[in-house]
Amino acid sequence: MYSSHFMKAPDGMELFYQTWSPSNPKAVIIIVHGAGEHSGRYVPLCKQCVAQNFAVVAPDLRGFGQSPGLRGHINTFQEYIDDLHTLIQLVSTRFSTLPIFLFGHSLGGLIVIRYSQVYKYDTKGVILSAPALALRVNVPYIGRKMLELSSKLIPTFSINPIKWQRILGRMEQLTPYIPKQQTLQYDPYMTAEITPKWLAELLKNGMNALSDVGSFQYPILCVYDEQDPIIQPNIIQDFLKKIEVLDKKGLVFNDGFHHLLHADYHQTTIADIVNWMEHRF
């Protein structure tokens, strides 16, 4: 059964989310999408989960998809964390007897990590897909300082990489960060814009996640590509090594994809994720 809803965030914003549920679910998986995208991009994973009797709840983050808010903007990363906490409370009420899994891709992966470090909750496991702990491109010290200043002086200034494509395209390291215009035209819920404040909060919380790695205490499956052009895979490897839990697994590819659920072998990846959840019972 499919349904869509809006939930009230702690600051009163009405956030969009979708649910897919079999007639007799044995667990719930909450899917948190990445930057620029939305929950509708995860339908193949949702369908496979439902086929195996997992209910699915997938929100659109504030500023993305069908949720309101300035596109690609947050005031603080804590807004994402508190929004997820509100959703988990809602899911825990609706599916009161069922265990919960958390899944997050890229930005969503970082949100799930930071949530797991800030809030103590009961979960069967965490699944991360290319979590945005650090960007692949090296941001020099002066660049970070300029970003820090911009995030204070013009925090909501909208940056659209498409408009700067001619300039950014000349810089090979930045090419992967330019959204494909064809994708944006095909999918009206995709977003290209970000703000200085959003990017500053992303980088800061990536570092916070690494410095607070000891507080992550949940079973974890991490799926990533060693040639990922967007995020830094070495940082992911370091994060996994430092997690002090026995039930942890890395599923590593070497094909240069960032979004492994949209790679040519996505069905295999989805099957691996579902099987990992199955083995937690």
C-alpha angle 32-62-236 in degrees, rounded to nearest 5: 40
The full set of domain ranges for the chain reads: 2-137+200-278
Which tokens go with 128?
């991360």
250: how many CB neighbours lie within 10 A of its CB? Answer: 14
The better pLDDT of the pair 209, 175 is held by: 209
Model confidence over 10-29: pLDDT tens digits?
999 999 999 999 999 999 99
pLDDT at 180: 59
Query: Helix, strand, or coil here: 127?
Result: strand
Q: What is the pLDDT of residues 32-77, one digit of tens each?
A: 999 999 999 999 999 999 999 999 999 999 999 999 999 999 999 9
Q: In terms of CATH architecture, what is 2-137+200-278?
A: 3-Layer(aba) Sandwich (3.40)
Measured CA to CA in angstroms, residue 129 lies from 33, 182, 250 at distances of: 10, 24, 10
| Pair 245, 220: CB distance under 8 Å | yes
**Cα(221)–Cα(107) distance, integer angstroms:** 16
Residues 6+ apart with CB under 8 A from 267: 44
